[in-house]
């Protein structure tokens, strides 16, 4: 159900002391500065506002100078496109000089600085992203953003196809914002234009696509929107492999309060280790992100062919070797599938490891124990430890001292 917009939230936003000081300093001497974009959109929706971006008639040098005079810290975080980050009492604000596009090629824009709020609004992507808010509480809407926001509708400013050709990333952003803010079907014109211009995504950098795709994955309606992407022929190009919608849906239901993009990506697009490799390359994933996908693939395959129903003992063994978090995602993703079969006590055990109320078992022997027991240093030590570890896993990963002593004795005897 569509709800009304929260005008009162705009007033509350303007009451924030740091923002008040900022707007006071930067609305003086014939200059005008407003809050713009996501902060205005989210306030009106009654959603949390975490980042406040502003747009101003002042040029970057003047922003810096005035900030310093007022005792604020100013960092030139995006000076080439006119952005200075001004920090007031620890809170950062991105302040950008009003701009207009003079040239676009589908991925970069040549911009001129200007003093015109209307032009600045019209170069933005969607109507709901182009609202601005004056210091006095006046809401400026040059593109019909307010009614689209009230209707929870993501619509391009101007002609969708033209806007996409200026910057093909807007296709990804169209779906990303749809997934986060829309409540019905995607805007027909935007959808048709995105489909028609699909091949344009190929000229973009993988980093930019990755950024939007990972944001889409944690959006409220991620699964539905990913299905739309699939129906319109986008998914193979983006993921290059299978798409497990049901698994994504289950993981997304489970992690709703704290979604993690990389785990949702795993559920959606990883079946085997090769998928993790390909996605690392395609989406320029970090080592850590890749490690998570690989861990998911390894566990998925292990558990898919696990011979028995999983109980608490099996979980103890599994978490000795594998990231408990990855195990939790595999369980969530495969819930309702014929395998693995997971007993209730297994779920409870995993919950204890995940919440750290029970420590993950750690193999109790080290090389030094064997050396002390008379084994000469060398490759033999590693082999013996590996064999000991196998026994330890098979015997339930006990960590008490008497067990450790007994295990050491057996390992030494074998040698
Ligand atoms: P989020 O809360 O997800 O960060 P946001 O609205 O702040 O949402 P950003 O991607 O941070 O989104 O962009 C900030 C603003 O800049 C947008 O609201 C939009 O007005 C404008 N913008 C960003 N990228 C583009 C683009 N590719 N084309 C046109 N306008 C854009
Ligand atoms: Mg933002």
Average pLDDT over residues 329-354: 96
The pLDDT-based confidence of 2 (bands split at 50, 70, 90) is low
Check pLDDT > 90 for residue 80.
no
252-267 average pLDDT score: 96
pLDDT recorded at residue 81? 86
What pLDDT sits at residue 3? 65
Answer whether residue 367 shows pLDDT above 50.
yes
Residue nearest to atom 5 of ligand 1 (CA): 38
- Kindly tell me if the per-residue pLDDT of 1 is higher than 60: no
Distance 99 CA to ligand 1 centre (A): 14
For residue 100, pLDDT over 70 is answered with yes
Relative to the CA of 169, which ligand 1 atom is closest?
27
CB 1 within 8 A of CB 14: no
- What is the CA(157)–ligand 1 centre distance, in A? 13
Mutate to test the pocket of ligand 1, among 124, 174, 219 (most ligand atoms within 8 A of CB): 124
169 close to ligand 1 (CB < 6 Angstrom):
yes
Average pLDDT rounded to a whole number, residues 287-293: 98
Specify the residue with its C-alpha closest to ligand 1, atom 3.
Answer: 38
Averaged pLDDT for residues 120-126:
97
Ligand 1 centroid distance, CA of 98 (Å): 14
Ligand 1 lined by 64 (C-beta under 6 Å): no
Q: Whose CA is nearest to atom 30 of ligand 1?
A: 124
Q: In angstroms, what is the span from residue 198 Cα to ligand 2's centroid?
A: 24
Q: Is the pLDDT of residue 399 over 80?
A: yes
Q: In a mutational test of the pocket of ligand 1, which residue from 125, 154, 203 has the highest number of ligand atoms less than 8 Å from its CB?
A: 125
Ligand nearest to the CA of 211: 1
Report the nearest atom of ligand 1 relative to the CA of 177.
3
Checking if the pLDDT of 4 tops 90, the result is: no
- Nearest alpha carbon, ligand 1 atom 22: 124
Residue whose CA is at the smallest distance from ligand 1 atom 15: 37
Whose CA is closest to atom 26 on ligand 1? 125
Q: Is 129 in the pocket of ligand 1 (CB under 6 A)?
A: yes
- % of the chain at pLDDT higher than 70: 99
Distance 129 CA to ligand 2 centre (A): 10
pLDDT at residue number 242: 87
What are the structure tokens assigned to 388, written together?
A: 């000991």
Confidence of residue 163 (pLDDT cuts 50, 70, 90): very high
Ligand nearest to the CA of 92: 2
């Amino acid at each position: 159900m569509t709800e009304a917009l929260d005008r009162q939230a705009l007033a509350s936003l303007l009451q924030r002391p740091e923002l008040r000081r900022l707007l006071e300093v930067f609305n003086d001497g014939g200059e005008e500065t407003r809050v713009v974009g996501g902060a205005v959109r989210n306030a009106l929706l009654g959603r949390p506002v975490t980042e406040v971006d502003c747009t101003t008639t002042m040029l970057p040098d003047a922003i810096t100078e005035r900030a310093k005079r007022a005792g604020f810290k100013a960092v030139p975080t995006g000076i080439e496109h006119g952005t200075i980050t001004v920090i007031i009492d620890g809170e950062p604000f991105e302040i950008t000089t009003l701009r207009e596009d003079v040239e676009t090629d589908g991925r970069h824009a040549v911009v001129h600085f200007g003093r015109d709020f209307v032009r600045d609004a019209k170069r933005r992507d969607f109507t709901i992203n182009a609202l601005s808010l004056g210091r006095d509480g006046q809401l400026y809407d040059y593109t019909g953003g307010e009614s689209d926001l009230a209707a929870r509708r993501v619509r391009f400013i101007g002609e969708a196809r033209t806007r996409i050709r200026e910057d093909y990333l807007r296709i990804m952003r169209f779906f990303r914002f749809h997934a986060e803010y829309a409540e019905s079907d995607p805007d027909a014109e935007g959808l048709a234009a995105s489909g028609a211009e699909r091949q344009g995504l190929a000229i973009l950098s993988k980093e930019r696509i990755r950024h939007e795709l990972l944001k889409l994955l944690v959006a409220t309606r991620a699964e539905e929107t990913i299905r739309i992407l699939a129906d319109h022929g986008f998914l193979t190009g983006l993921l290059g492999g299978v798409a497990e919608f049901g698994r994504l849906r289950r993981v997304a239901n489970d992690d709703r309060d704290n979604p993690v993009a990389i785990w949702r990506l795993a559920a959606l697009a990883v079946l085997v280790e090769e998928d993790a490799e390909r996605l690392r390359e395609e989406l320029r994933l970090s080592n850590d992100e890749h490690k998570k996908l690989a861990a998911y693939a390894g566990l998925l395959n292990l558990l898919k062919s696990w011979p028995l129903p999983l109980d608490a003992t099996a979980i103890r063994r599994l978490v000795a070797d594998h990231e408990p978090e990855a195990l939790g995602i595999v369980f969530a993703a495969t819930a309702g599938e014929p395998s693995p079969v997971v007993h209730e006590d297994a779920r409870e055990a995993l919950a204890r490891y995940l919440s750290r109320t029970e420590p993950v078992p750690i193999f109790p022997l080290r090389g030094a124990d064997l050396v002390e027991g008379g084994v000469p240093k060398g490759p033999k030590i590693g082999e013996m430890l590996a064999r000991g570890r196998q026994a330890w896993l098979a015997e339930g990963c006990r960590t008490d001292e008497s067990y450790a002593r007994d295990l050491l004795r057996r390992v030494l005897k074998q040698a």
